[in-house]
Structure 1
Amino acid sequence: MTRIDAVQIRQVNLQPKVKRTDAIQAFVVQETVLVTVRCDDGSCGTGYTYTIGTGGSSVVALLRDHLAPQLIGRDPATFEAIWRDLLFHTHATAVGAITSLALAAIDTALWDRNTRVAGVPLWVAAGGAKPATRTYSTEGGWLHLSGRELIDQTLQAQADGFRGAKLKVGRPHVSEDVRRLEAVRDAVGDDFELMVDANQGFTLSEAIRRAHAFEPFRLAWLEEPLPAESIDAHRRLNLATSVPVAIGESLYHPGQFGEYMKADACSIVQADVARIGGITPWLKVAHVAEALNLDICPHFLMELHVSLCAAVPNATWVEYIPQLDSLTHSRVRIDEGYAYAPNEPGIGIDWDWDAIRAAQHVEHAVNAADALA
């Protein structure tokens, strides 16, 4: 039986490609944490996770001090058992963002190793539902942009072949959001999809008010209108508007998605593979959503989500927001508004190790001797 005999942990900090602001925050830096598992048969796999400015060192410490030592001697093929054992090993800190982010780096590394050994791409190993998924752009909709800039950048996304674009909402008064949306809708026409994202910035009363004001613009969804812990408020909003309510980037366990879906508190689920703890729990959420006839449209990490969306039948959109280009040789292939899953074995990311070594912030290695210490 194959055993894991070493784990390598790296952190690389990446600057956003453009200024990114929303209703409550700015995207400061992507703290990208990479985990490589190495096995006694010579096989290996690399996974990753991220933050948008805080917590990267905490993820690294949790991996180095508590999770990576638990991997030594384990069979990498038993990824379900490993995920569950690691979750319970950190029971006192779960469910929470830091723990889930750390679990994701390990889980994606295991999937990368296992699919490489099997000689199949991730999207096929995880289900193989379809090779391509519609894609929309988020790189032109930031809240600080002027109305003119918002129109120009959305028109550029349309000209570039994207099937839709996401715009941030949450300006101080509803009339400002309405003016911006109206101008963009008039510019792009009726056939181009528009999504909006409030980044948890509204109270229930304000969310209902703005959702009603947004209805004439025929939006694909209203994303994160309320704080993620407010399930009943989301349920009341979901029942009060014709705009589909999308949630999920700020949820950290499949059970949290289950509570939302059970409560009829959303129409679209947006599980983030890093924030939910990896590919293993992401697929569980996708399949529950499918059983309930709900779409899954994941948040961020397009380089990994392009394969997961291809794996399941109910994934309808990939979010285009590039961030890994400086660390990889590979690029997401987009043709006529569809993102195509890579066909190479593994998770589909060809890492540029020279660039990673040049840019890395920290590096740690855990092996059998460390695990026994």
Structure 2
Amino acid sequence: MNASNALAATASNDQIKWIRVASTFLPLANPISDAKVLTGRQKPMTEIAILFVEIETADGHRGLGFSYYSKRAGGPGQFAHAKDIAPTLIGEDPSDIARLWDKLAWAGASVGRSGMAAQAIGAFDVALWDLKAKRANLSLSKLIGAQRDSVRCYNTSGGFLHTPLDQLLVNTDASREKGIGGIKLKVGQPDCALDIHRVQTVRKHLGDSFPLMVDANQQWDRPTAQRMCRTFEQFNLVWIEEPLDCYDAEGHAALAAQFDTPIATGEMLTSVSEHWEFIRLRGADYLMPDAPRVGGITPFLKVATLAGHAGLMLAPHFAMELHVHLAACYSREPWVEHFEWLEPLFNERLETKNGRMLVPTRPGLGLSLSERVKEWTAQETEIGARA
């Protein structure tokens, strides 16, 4: 038996022996407000609930995965669902990732195969992909099939609506100094004139050509979205994000067909089928799938394949630590969202240079949990026994 066959045989005989599931609440430095807060639909975000999954096999291979939910609601429920379905993986071959995704989905299918259930599955799926890449001694992007070693990136965390305009300009300068290649501003305030003034001011500050995006976070109705998209045409935006309710595929498609400025959406969708409706109707120029929210890397790659076939551009939402790998594998030049919120969870840092985020070359995701995660962990459980 040659070396490659021996490695394959070892992998196929390996079994999952131990799983740890943990619910961690990451505090944010300042309460975060977007348009959903100003319209009274949600309270400011003060922390993020993170679901971590660690998997270990009989041969000692380990994988780390995560998913998330805002503290506003859902974190404990996501942990409870993950705890219920985790035992179904014990004794399974970790290489069979697609089959294991289906097994986890059907284990909890009575509550659905999207939404919170999919997000719980996502943490297991990411851990299995991380394990597989580490076992192959490849970064996740190289395991999947990288198209590039860096990805265009834009910053969102400095452009929230709670940020005063003068501080907003300071934040844009800081992002550019860090080598970040684009700026996204939150819009969608009850007074549209305030949105227009902020965008106009930042566009003047950045110059005509620097990449600038806006995000309404689903807060406009169709007539308002029409008016605002028409007004924003003058600002040479890369995209207008979530101008309508996240499930209004027809409304987004009408805006995409009418205006020159691209329409972006998809971050709140939690299944391949929900994304397919937007792809089929051409409800987005930029599709924005979120791997943890859609159920992990396995369904994300299905969404990306469908989007690529339709000729759509890609800009995965949040979780740059994961999405930089996935965006690096997309055939068309994508964007990755720079959010430093999750950085305290990990020991490693991503590097930005000349408007791009460098793809890590460490095996797997290239991530390890920081010591601070322990103090932020509210619930955890272990299934099986470590090797």
TM-score by shorter chain over 0.5? yes
Matches within 5 A, 1:167-186: 167-186=185-204
Relative distance call for 1:274 and 1:155 in structure 2 (3 A) is same
RMSD: 1.6
What residue identity is the alignment partner of 2:77? S
Relative distance call for 1:13 and 1:110 in structure 2 (3 A) is same
Measured after TM superposition, the shift of residue 2 of structure 1 is 1.0
Please name the residue that 1:131 is paired with: 149
Please name the residue that 1:83 is paired with: 101
Measured after TM superposition, the shift of residue 367 of structure 1 is 1.7
Determine which of 56, 76, 81 is the counterpart of 1:62.
Answer: 81
Matched position secondary structure for 1:311: coil
In 2, the alpha carbon distance for the partners of 1:44 and 1:146 equals 45
Matches within 5 A, 1:1-373: 1-25=13-37, 26-53=44-71, 54-65=73-84, 67-352=85-370, 354-367=371-384
Measured after TM superposition, the shift of residue 336 of structure 1 is 1.7
Alignment gaps of 5+ in structure 1: 369-373
Asked if 2 retains the 8 angstrom alpha-carbon contact of 1:151 and 1:187, the reply is yes
Measured after TM superposition, the shift of residue 17 of structure 1 is 3.7
Matched position secondary structure for 1:129: coil
In 2, the alpha carbon distance for the partners of 1:315 and 1:71 equals 36
In 2, the alpha carbon distance for the partners of 1:212 and 1:155 equals 28
In 1, the alpha carbon distance for the partners of 2:18 and 2:293 equals 24
Measured after TM superposition, the shift of residue 9 of structure 1 is 0.8
Measured after TM superposition, the shift of residue 270 of structure 1 is 0.4
Matched position secondary structure for 1:196: strand
Matched position secondary structure for 1:28: strand
Q: Please, what TM-score do these two structures have when normalized by structure 2?
A: 0.91
In 2, the alpha carbon distance for the partners of 1:35 and 1:259 equals 30
Measured after TM superposition, the shift of residue 8 of structure 1 is 0.5
Superposed CA deviations along residues 45-97 of structure 1, whole A, max 9, x for unmatched, are: 110111111211111111112x1011111110000001112222222222432
Asked if 2 retains the 8 angstrom alpha-carbon contact of 1:286 and 1:314, the reply is no
Matched position secondary structure for 1:242: coil
Deviates more, 1:355-364 or 1:162-171: 355-364
What residue identity is the alignment partner of 1:341? V
How many residue pairs were aligned? 367
Asked if 1 retains the 8 angstrom alpha-carbon contact of 2:180 and 2:357, the reply is no
Percent pairwise identity: 33
Asked if 1 retains the 8 angstrom alpha-carbon contact of 2:114 and 2:295, the reply is no
In 2, the alpha carbon distance for the partners of 1:315 and 1:16 equals 31
Please name the residue that 2:41 is paired with: none
Measured after TM superposition, the shift of residue 134 of structure 1 is 1.0
In 2, the alpha carbon distance for the partners of 1:165 and 1:18 equals 20
Asked if 1 retains the 8 angstrom alpha-carbon contact of 2:159 and 2:185, the reply is yes
What residue identity is the alignment partner of 2:380? E
Relative distance call for 1:315 and 1:94 in structure 2 (3 A) is farther
Q: Please, what TM-score do these two structures have when normalized by structure 1?
A: 0.95
Measured after TM superposition, the shift of residue 150 of structure 1 is 2.2
In 2, the alpha carbon distance for the partners of 1:167 and 1:128 equals 30
In 1, the alpha carbon distance for the partners of 2:178 and 2:100 equals 42
Measured after TM superposition, the shift of residue 327 of structure 1 is 2.3
Measured after TM superposition, the shift of residue 225 of structure 1 is 1.1
What residue identity is the alignment partner of 1:358? E
In 1, the alpha carbon distance for the partners of 2:81 and 2:126 equals 16
Matched position secondary structure for 2:28: coil
